[in-house]
Amino acid sequence: MSITHQNLLRHELVGLETHIVGSRDPGHVCRRGTIVAESKEMIQLDTEDGDILLPKNVCVFEIKLPSGDVIRVDGDLLRGRPEDRVKKRQSRRW
């Protein structure tokens, strides 16, 4: 099954490119890179300046899908372990 905006929450995020387009912490905005790890509350991003940890609940992510589509996802929708996100509602476009 390919990753789409309707089923993003049911897939692994590791390996996807992302850009932080909003955050309650201004230091996180405009960071971009590849997601290399994910925990219940954090995303580890490989950037040009090295790896950084970003709290999911304060960020808005633009995630590039393998198809080339880019979708915006509120980090609150990504909170929780990846295997538990299946139970949450679907991501929405912003």
Task: Read off the pLDDT of residues 11-44 as tens digits, 9 standing for 90 and up.
Answer: 889 999 999 999 999 999 999 999 999 999 999 9
Mean pLDDT estimate for the chain: 87
Backbone φ, ψ for residue 83 (5° rounding): -70, -20
Domain presence at residue 91: no
Domain presence at residue 41: yes
Domain presence at residue 93: no
Please give the model's pTM, rounded to 2 decimal places. 0.84
Count of domains observed in the chain: 1
Domain presence at residue 94: no
Residue for token digits 């929450």?
A: 9
Domain presence at residue 24: yes
Domain presence at residue 40: yes
Per-residue pLDDT at 90: 44
Domain presence at residue 43: yes
Find the CATH number of the domain harbouring 67: 2.30.30.210
Backbone φ, ψ for residue 54 (5° rounding): -125, 130
Domain range for 53 is 8-86
